Copies of this chain bind each other. A is one copy, B any other.
Amino acid sequence: MPLSSSYEGQECNVAATLEVVGERWSLLIVRSVMLGAHRFEDLRARLGIATNVLQTRLTSLVEAEVLERLPYQERPPRFEYRLTEKGLALWPTIAALSRWGDTYVNTIPPLIFRHRECGGEVDDHRICARCGERLSADGVFAVAGPGASENHPMRRSGPRDLGS
């Protein structure tokens, strides 16, 4: 559903951002690609999403330059999805959603972000709790937290640099 053309709708960058990634699946796709799922079948399995819905969302995220579709095999041709810089810049939004859930929904965190350089935990302001560095996505890795079961994708994959 397109947003209204009211002044607030047009001039608000919360609304403008939600125009690009506000559909719930879009942010979950961005999250999964950020955590290392790059191929259609892997995304479909992780998200439990219908094939046609996933294809539509991926196409619109590529059009919005949040994702890139890149070849990883020539014969037969196969493609995977990678975050652009613009897509990786959604990490603060993903981190804020995740932190709110840690506080108010599932209070044993299933996912933890850590500073690549020193291993310190990323705090609520996206600062390393150990060394104090201000972090962006390219300085961070994700790892399963104490709330992740044995079957959680991050427990199976092990720690992952964001966007890798």
List residues of A whose CB falls within 8 A of some B CB: 1, 3-9, 11-20, 22-24, 27-28, 31-32, 45-49, 86, 89-90, 92-106, 109-111, 124-127, 134, 147-149, 151-153
Contact = CB atoms under 8 A, between A and B. Distances in A.
How many of these chains are in the complex?
2
Contacts of A16: 101, 105-106
Given A16-B105, A105-B20, A149-B11, A93 B96 contact: yes
A125 to B, nearest CB: 5
Contact of A9 (B48, B97, B148): B48
A111 B24 contact: no
Contacts of A13: 97-102, 105-106, 109-111
B100 A90 contact: yes
